[in-house]
Every structure is written in C-alpha cells, then in structure tokens.
Chain A
Amino acid sequence: MSANKRYGMSIDIDKCNGCGACMMACAVENNIPPAPEAANDRRGVTWIRVYKVDNHLAYPERRTAFVPVLCQQCGHDTPCVHVCPQQAVDVDPETGIVGQMPERCLGCRYCMVACPYHARYFNWWDPKWPAGMEKTLNPDVAPRMRGVVEKCNFCHGRWHAAQQKAAAAGQREIDAADYVPACVEACPTGALRFGDLSDSSTEVAQDAQRPESFRLLEKIGTEPKIHYRSRRDWVREIASAPRPEGKDGLRG
C-alpha cells in the first residue's frame, strides 16, 4: 500500500477576482440545489464560499479582497470530529480528508458550532431542482435530504473516479492529474491549487512554505490544510482575527 497522502490546497488571495466560478462549479459537481425562496446568506448551502473582506477604511482608502473559504480539513484535533455524537464525521488516514456522512447525521449541528471556519452547512429544506434540471445531476455524488449537515470533501466523487480509473489500469495509486476538485479546475485565474502536502515536490507543498503564506486562525492549532497567501498586510491580519468587527463591511 502506498504512503498516506495529506491532500490540501493553496489559495492566492492576490489572484482571486471574486468571480464565483469555484462556487458554481462546486454546486454543479456536488448536486447542491439552488436556494429555496426563503434562503439567505446564513441558510444557504455553499461548500466553498467567497467572502468579500475589506480593510475597514472608507472611500477612497477602502481596499477589497476576496477570500474563498471551504472546509479547512483540519489536521489536528479536528473540532467537528470531536463533537459529533453520531460518529458521522471522520478523518480518512489515507487522504487526510475530513469526511461528513449525511446518512449518519442526526442534524444536531454541534459540528457547525464547533467549526471555527463556518464551513459547515445545514440542509434547512429538502433539495429541489426546477423541473427537468434533475437531469443535470452528477451521478457520482448522492443528493442529501433535509435535516443533515454537509460540507466540502474535496470532491470525493472525483477521488472515487480517479481510483476507478487507476483500478482499470491495474493500479492502486492514482494519477495526480486525475484528481482535482471542481473548484480548482474551474478557477479561471489560477488562484486555487490542489495536491498532496506531504510530497514536497508538489506546487501546494511549495506554496505552503512561502513567506507570505498563512492559514486561517492558525493560533487555535487545528492545523488546517488550506494554505492562503497574500502580499497585502491587512489581508493577513484579517485572517488571524476571529471575525471582522461587526457586519458593516459585509454587504447584506
């Protein structure tokens, strides 16, 4: 058996233009339905969500940055795993991916409270697609029901497909090019990169070593596997604060 992987991502905030292609690709890939009538930015489901953050100054000193936030795939004391009463969350030792099992989930939402990154989403409604649109669902991902929590799992359907392809060639080891999450594939600016952090030859592992690289809420010690980077000081400062003050800067 091959050595264990530690899949992670690097995100160049200075390249992200906030277009939202990653969010669309994610929803298409993972069979996330369009928002019901009553959904808003707190009750929607966006496994990856691009936040618009700013330096808290008024025009014309105001500067904006876009920060894509997905499940940070915490590598140490993964908070959601600890609190789940159902063992519906686990960390795959083989890939390092934090998995969420909707079938086991009770819907208690402890994990959402525990998650420091607001990266978990609750299904307030049964998924509904406009008539005919269910034909466009991805067969590699099962749609979820109401009352359960879900989150990013680095497009696990694609991991399965890559494994299947390797098996067809008689191999256990997948080809790295076959496993790229939908958001990374979709990013038109190349701000997102994906790969094995335990292999120092990968781009992500090298990105993680850069001086301008940082992780969200690094001080709480969850060892997330999403490595952000920005050359702007104020962007790096925001990442270490628990939350921007108030909601004034965040539209809506």
Chain B
Amino acid sequence: MTTTRRNLLKFVGGGAAGALLTPAPWRLITDTALWSENWPGIPRPARGEIRARFTHCTLCPAGCAVRARCVNGQPVSLAGVKPHPISHGALCPWGIAGHHLPYHPARVRQGPVKEALAAVSRAITQRGAGERVAVLDLRPGRTVSWTYRRAMAAIDDGLYLAPRQPAYAIDLTAAKTVVSFGAPLFDGWGTPGNVFAARANFRLVQIEPVETRTAALADVWLPIRPGTETAMAAALAGEITIAEAARETGVEEQAISAVKEAIGNSPAVVLAADPGSPLMSLNAKLRALGRTVVARRESPVPDAWKKAAPSTEMAAVPDKAIRVLLIDESLPGGYVPWQDIQPKLAPNAVVVVFSSSSEGYARHAQYVLPAPVYPEMAEDIGPAIDTVAAVFRIAAPLIAPVVPVVNPGELVARIAGLPQTDPLRDRADAIHKAGRGSLLSYADGKSTSMKEVTADDFWKTLNQGGCWMDDTGKKAAPAGLGKFGRSGTCPTAHDLPLAVVVAEARRGGLESPLMSKLERESNLRMTANRVALSPADARSNGIENGGRCVLETACGRLSVVAMIDAGVPAGVVEVAGGPRMADLCGANQRARVVRA
C-alpha cells in the first residue's frame, strides 16, 4: 500500500467517523458548556457556619444597633436590631454596607508612624512659650474624647478642640409640629429609626431653599430664599411682621401665618441644619424647653477622669498658637474647614491626622497615620441629638484590622504618659458603679435593671450586643441655647451670583464601593463632583446638561459636572457636601459656575 493524498484523507475521514462513535467529542461539548457556567475568575463565596453577631454602627453619632450575619465569623451582611427602642431596626445605606470599608481600595494602608511620633515629641519638648499642643476630635462625646481631654490636661498648654456640640437633646416623640430650618430630618439627622418611628405623630414644616429628600416628604415645604432663614425665624418669634418676612424670604404670607399658628397651638420644636445655630434659640419662645428640647445627663465617668481639659472651639484659639495638632478623623464627623484651622497653626507646626481616608485632612497634614475603620475598632458612640436619655454602647469589632493600624486614643494617651488601661472598660465599670438605668441585651431582647447585673456580665453583654440606657428622669430645660436675636442679614449683591445649597449632606470618610449603585448606576444621589443649576443660570453661563464646568468660590475652584434641573431655583447652585466642598465653600456660601 502506498501513501497517497487520497489515502491520507480517507484515514482522516475514518478517524473523524470513528471519533463520532466515541464519547470524546460529545463529552468535550458538554464540558465546554459546563465550563462556561463555572466561568473562571469569578470569586466563590466562602461557605461555613452562619451566625449572627451584634455591634453598633460608628459611622455617625446615631450609633444604630447592628445585627451582622457572619459566615465563619466574617460579616457578609448587616441589618438593624428590630426590638431596639431607639434605632428600631433601621440602618441607612451607609450603615448597611459598612462591613465593606476595611477592604476599600482607597483606604490609607500605611503611614510613617515612627517619624510622626518622633516629630511630635520633638515639637512638644522644643516648643516656645505659649505654643500649644492640641487634639482635634471630630466626634466629641465618646470615651476616647475623655482620653484626649485627660491627655491634654496632662500636657502643659494642652488644648482639646472639638466642633460645638449641642448641649441639649430633642424629644421628637413629644412634638406635634416640627419646624425644620434645613435640618435633613429624613436623610441623616439624628437616629433614622427613631425619626421614622415618631413620624406618624408630628407634622413637618420644612423651610429650605431647595426640595431635598426631607422637603419632598414634609407635610409643608416652604421654599425660602437662601440666607433668609433668620427673617423667617424672626417672624415666627413675632419680632418682625409676617408681611416683612414674606417680602424678605419669598414665602407667601398665608403660609408663614399658618406655621406660626401651628406652633402656637401644639407642642412644637424648631430644628436647624447646624445644631449650634442661633435659630435653635427660637425654641425658648415656643416654650419648647423642657418639653421637646430637653437636657440630657452624661453617662457616668470614673472619678479619676475629672482632671480633663475643657472643650475649646477652633475659633477661640489665637492665631499661630498651635505647634502640634493631632486630628482624630478615624470616624466621620463634623468637618472643620481647613481655612479655619490653618491660621491657628504656628509656622513650623506638626500636623498629624489619624484617618482611613485620603480625602479629608490627609490632604493638608504632614503625617497621615492609618486608623482602624468600622467594624475593626472597639469604640463607643456618643449620644445622638434625638436620644433623650444617656446611652452607652460599644461598637465591638467584628473583624481584626486588615491593614496595620494605629489606634488614635492609645497613641495620644502614650504621648501624654497616661496610664495604659482600657478606657472603655473603666467607663463601663463607672456606669455599673453608679447603678442607674438598665441593660438591654440584643440576643434575647431582655432589659435588666443595672442593680441586678454584675460588672463582668455588664461588660460581656456590652461586647456581645447590648446597650446601657439611663433612666429617663424628669424632663429638664437645657442650659446654653442662648438668646434668639437677629444676626446676619440676607447676603447682598456680590460678584459671586449663586448661593451654595448643600442638597446632599456627606460625612466624608470612606464609603462602600457599592455606593456606586446610588450614584453612577442610578443617579439617585448626587456624587461629590456634581452640581445642579436652574435652566436660567445654566443658559446665562452657557452651560450644558452634563457639561464640565468649574465651581468658584472666594476660597478656590473645583472642577465639577453640571446638571440642569428645573427644580433648582434661579440664583442657587446645589452641591453635595463633604470635606472638599467644605474647604471650598466654608462659611462663605457664595459661588459662581463657569464653563471649563
């Protein structure tokens, strides 16, 4: 037999026919189909024992109780704790995805810890007379805040700085009418669960220039000219006539008198976007003090802590006085614009920030040290503005830190030479010793009087899911609301034609990468780089919908994307909050938008 081309083809043909009679080709087809179902490179979720663990969310002062669904101890989803008397099982979108934060790609993962410590101790010893060492605490009211205050008392010329905290609590359940001057009642104010639980029992009058989420669900929304809130308050207080107020605010007379009547006839409360605003003093006129605006006792602290530095506001510090500034930005909180801090720094000041995000003060500090994030950090959460009785709850860590972190409280205590103890445990013992209030355990929903709990059981329950709640004593009027007086007038004509209105409050700090669902993937929430303009303002500046433009203020410029929205009043630019916007706008809320 000779090998011919013809025979070779027959051989191949025979092979092909034979192969079809074997399992091989059929199996390979099926296998390929199965392979495509188990697509390579797709992560396989870990399997294992599923258990619930409890903690508290530290992402805002609400400190909502959290039930974490854990697989082999790793949290895979978070939900609220239904029977909780304050948070009522609610979580906000940030809280729901809080367990992603440790893995955020933009997280600060390392920092010059040794160098920072050396620079700080050098500056402390070498500083001149009157030069201060300061801690800026963005979330005062925590136990670590006491550590900072004690540390600053232990250092000569130590200074404890914190944004102004409200010296009162709001009892929403006692209010029949709520008059809100731009307070984002349904979008981040107080404790969400508490607000929504009380919602059915009050009428909400929302006074603000744009229709925010809160205004959209308010019973009455009064669209007010930006910056004229004081005039409206003065009219409600009876200091100016309703006609005058209507002229100044752009709100109809009828609407103002309806509000005035409502607050005169029923238990009411006035809320302001800034809890330290003089607008809050309108409550005194409404006889709300001691009824809807009440004093709150602080939860007990150990006697040994009484030697603590007082809380100072940034504005009260003399210029160029701070030689060392340690900023605790580990939890998102009230951001103090950098232009308020910078003048207070000595020329050779050392600024160290503890943060997980490079967005906030990390842009300004010499040393950025990686801080733990929720839920890696054992931390307590101060009471929220709508919590009437004192509370003590611990955010028990659900996972170990995934990057090497510095605990800000421990480091500051070490710098000041404070004794190395666990302040949370000391505080818990002091609360236990005081014997007031009750302990709520989340696993069984039981509330036990503190007199029946041992100190060790108390500590154990706090860490495994529990909350101490003070007795609600007799309601008392708070001190320090101040007197209501008209200060500041409507901003007059200026070369910056637009009033900046923060339509989307942002706390700063890391957010779950899944927030893209609410932003880029749905445009439900405004991203930090967007602004919204009225069609008239957009037209006069030649700006197109979705076009790149520049937001200019007295403090700087920011490249943004403009959206045109007929729901925005002329003369207003809507922005989303956040540290960058705070640095840009500060107290001067005027801006201009020009084409890029």
Q: A24-B512, A39-B520, A251-B532 are in contact. Are A18 and B43 (CB under 8 A)?
A: no
| Min distance, Cβ A36 to any Cβ of chain B, angstroms | 9
A-B contact pairs, 5 of them (CB 8 A): A24-B97, A35-B516, A59-B223, A59-B567, A137-B43
Query: Which residues on the A side are within 8 Å of B80 (C-beta)?
Result: 188
The answer to whether B415 has its CB under 8 Å from any CB of chain A is no
- Whether, in the assembled complex, B343 has its beta carbon less than 8 Å from a beta carbon of chain A, the answer is no
Contact, CB under 8 Å: A135 / B216 = no
Report B30-49 CB contacts with A as 1/0, cut-off 8 Å.
00000011010111111110
Q: In the complex, which residues of chain A have a beta carbon less than 8 angstroms from the beta carbon of B513?
A: 34, 129-130, 133
Task: Find residues 378-435 in chain B having any chain A CB closer than 8 Å to their own CB.
Answer: 402
Provide the main secondary structure of the chain A interface.
loop
| A134–B74 CA distance with the chains assembled, in angstroms | 11
Q: What is the distance, in angstroms, from A128's C-beta to the closest C-beta of chain B?
A: 9
A206 on interface, CB distance cutoff 8 Å: no
Any B CB within 8 A of the CB of A131: yes
Question: Which residues of A (111-141) have their CB < 8 Å from a CB of B?
Answer: 126-127, 129-139, 141
Contacting residues of chain B (491-528) with chain A, CB-CB under 8 angstroms: 512-518, 520-526
Residues of B near A144 (CB, < 8 A) are: 42
Q: Is the CB of A28 within 8 A of B97?
A: yes
Q: A62-B567, A252-B523 are in contact. Are A21 and B92 (CB under 8 A)?
A: yes
**Given B44, B105, B402, B517, which contacts A27 in the complex, CB threshold below 8 Å?**
B517
Contact status of A251 and B563, CB under 8 A, knowing A21-B93, A24-B96, A25-B96:
yes
Cα A146 to Cα B42 with chains together (Å): 10
- Residue of chain B at shortest CB distance from A248: B566
In the bound complex, do residue A41 and residue B521 qualify as a contact, i.e. CB atoms below 8 Å apart?
yes
A41, B523: Cβ atoms closer than 8 Å: yes
Chain B: minimal CB distance from A44 (Å): 3
Extra inter-chain contacts (18) besides given A21-B93, A131-B103, CB under 8 Å: A17-B186, A17-B217, A23-B517, A24-B518, A44-B517, A45-B521, A46-B522, A59-B223, A59-B570, A64-B211, A64-B216, A131-B105, A136-B99, A139-B45, A143-B43, A145-B39, A185-B79, A186-B91
Residues of A within 8 A of B518 (CB): 20, 23-24
| CB–CB A135/B223 < 8 A | no
Residues of chain A with a CB closer than 8 A to B48's CB: 139
Q: Which residues of B contact A141 (CB under 8 A)?
A: 45
Contacts of B37 in A (CB 8 A): 103
The reply to whether A188 and B91 contact each other, CB–CB distance below 8 Å, is: yes
Q: Return the contact of B563 from the options A21, A27, A252 (Cβ within 8 A).
A: A252
Chain B residues with CB below 8 A from A44, complex form: 516-517, 520-522
Contact A24–B79 (Cβ < 8 Å): no
- Tell whether, in the assembled complex, residue B45 and residue A132 are in contact, meaning their CB atoms are under 8 Å apart: no
Range for the number of chain A residues in contact with chain B: 35 or more
List, in ascending order, chain B residues with CB within 8 A of A14's CB: 217
Contact B74 A23 (CB under 8 A): no
Verify if B490 is at the interface (C-beta below 8 Å from A).
Answer: no
A249 to B521, Cβ gap below 8 A?
A: no
On B, residues with C-beta under 8 Å from A are 36-37, 39, 41-48, 50, 71, 74-80, 90-93, 96-97, 99-100, 102-105, 186-187, 192-193, 196, 199, 211, 213-214, 216-217, 223, 402, 512-518, 520-526, 532, 534-535, 546, 563, 565-570
Contact of A49 with B by CB under 8 A:
yes
Evaluate contact between A139 and B96: CB separation under 8 angstroms: no
The complex places the Cα of A141 from the Cα of B101 at a distance, in Å, of 22
Which residues of chain A come closer than 8 Å to B91, judged between CB atoms?
A: 21, 186, 188
Q: Are B523 and A58 in contact (CB under 8 A)?
A: no
CA distance A83 to B512 in the complex (A): 37
- Residues of B contacting A103 in the complex (Cβ-Cβ under 8 angstroms): 37
Smallest Cβ-Cβ distance to B191: which chain A residue = A188
CA distance A45 to B521 in the complex (A): 7
A40 within 8 A of B: yes
| Cβ contacts under 8 Å, B93 to chain A | 19-21, 23-24
Q: Which residue of B77, B92, B512, B569 contacts A29 across the interface (Cβ within 8 Å)? A: B77
Partner of A46 from the list B99, B517, B546 (CB cut-off 8 Å) is B517
Interface mask (A142-167 → B, CB under 8 Å = 1, otherwise 0) = 11111000000000000000000000
Inter-chain contact A145/B97, CB cutoff 8 Å:
no
Residue in chain B with minimal CB distance to A59: B569
Report yes or no: B196 in contact with A188, Cβ–Cβ below 8 A: yes
Is the Cβ of A60 less than 8 Å from the Cβ of B569? yes
CB of A213 to closest CB in B, whole Å: 19
Q: Nearest Cβ distance between residue A158 and chain B, in whole angstroms?
A: 11
B525 CB contacts on chain A under 8 angstroms = 20
Least Cβ–Cβ distance between A37 and chain B, in angstroms = 10
Q: Does chain B have a CB within 8 A of A250?
A: yes
Other-chain contact of A135, B74, B199, B214 (Cβ < 8 Å) = B74
Nearest A residue to B564 via CB reads A248
A226 interfacial by beta-carbon distance below 8 Å: no
Cβ-based interface call for A200 (8 A): no
Residues of A within 8 A of B568 (CB): 59
Contact between A134 and B43, CB atoms less than 8 A apart: yes
Which A-chain residue is minimally distant from B45 (CB atoms)?
A137
Given A18-B524, A41-B521, A252-B563, CB of A132 within 8 Å of CB of B102 = yes
Residue of B nearest to A15 (CB): B217
